[in-house]
Amino acid sequence: MSDTDQKQPRSGRVLRVLLFVSLAGNLVVLGLVVGAVLKGGPHDGPRNLARDTVAPFTRALAREDRRSIGRDIRQTVAGGDAAAWRAARQQRYTEALRLLREESFDADAFGAVLAGQVAQVQAVAGAGSVALTRHIAGMSASERQSYADRVEEELRRGKKDRKGKP
């Protein structure tokens, strides 16, 4: 067996680990987007491109509209049972921690846990996109114009807030 044949299994394992690290990073970004949509997020925290992409649209809405969209999202992804949804998410974290602490790392099982988390986050992001679009579609032309003005103001305000910051 040549040296390259012996190194291939190891490089495959390295690629798998890099894939999982990349998935975890994507999960963090999606989590921030979802958090911004569902809770309005802390607007004075560290800047995040994903959150900044969605934030002007959500901040331009009235508080009650944001809450209504959040309820729609929870109803869509959790069937109204947010506690069960959070429990499932927590179960995935518990399983991931268990896998990380095992003597022998099971990359496939860990990847499956991450894939479940990514799917859950993508479901929330998709439901958020649908709920926001549905809300905007229900606006009259004049309400949409006012909303567009508020979004534009949020975008301007965001640029002003970033001046002098990395």
pLDDT at 69: 92
Which residue type sits at 77? V
Q: Give residue 44's pLDDT.
A: 45
Kindly report, residue by residue over 140-151, the tens digit of the pLDDT: 999 999 999 999
Of 103, 74, 104, 101, give the one whose Cα is nearest residue 86: 74
Measured from the Cβ of residue 62, the count of other Cβ atoms closer than 10 Å reads 10
Inform me whether the pLDDT recorded for 6 exceeds 80. no
pLDDT bracket for residue 166 (50, 70, 90): very low
Identify which of 51, 57, 68 has the alpha carbon closest to the alpha carbon of residue 149.
57
- The answer to whether the Cα torsion of 52, 57, 62, 65 is positive or negative is negative
Q: Band of the pLDDT at 93, cuts 50, 70, 90? A: very high
- pLDDT (average), residues 101-119: 93
CB 117 within 8 A of CB 89: yes
CA atoms lying within 13 Å on the CB side of residue 125: 20
pLDDT digits (tens, 9 = 90+) for 17-70: 666 556 555 555 555 555 554 554 444 444 445 456 778 899 999 999 999 998
Does the predicted TM-score (pTM) go above 0.75? no
C-alpha separations of 85 from 16, 77, 163 in Å: 28, 8, 39
Q: How confident is the model at residue 161 (pLDDT cuts 50, 70, 90)?
A: low
User: What is the CA angle 109-115-121, rounded to 5?
Assistant: 145
Half-sphere exposure of 94 (CA within 13 A, CB side): 6
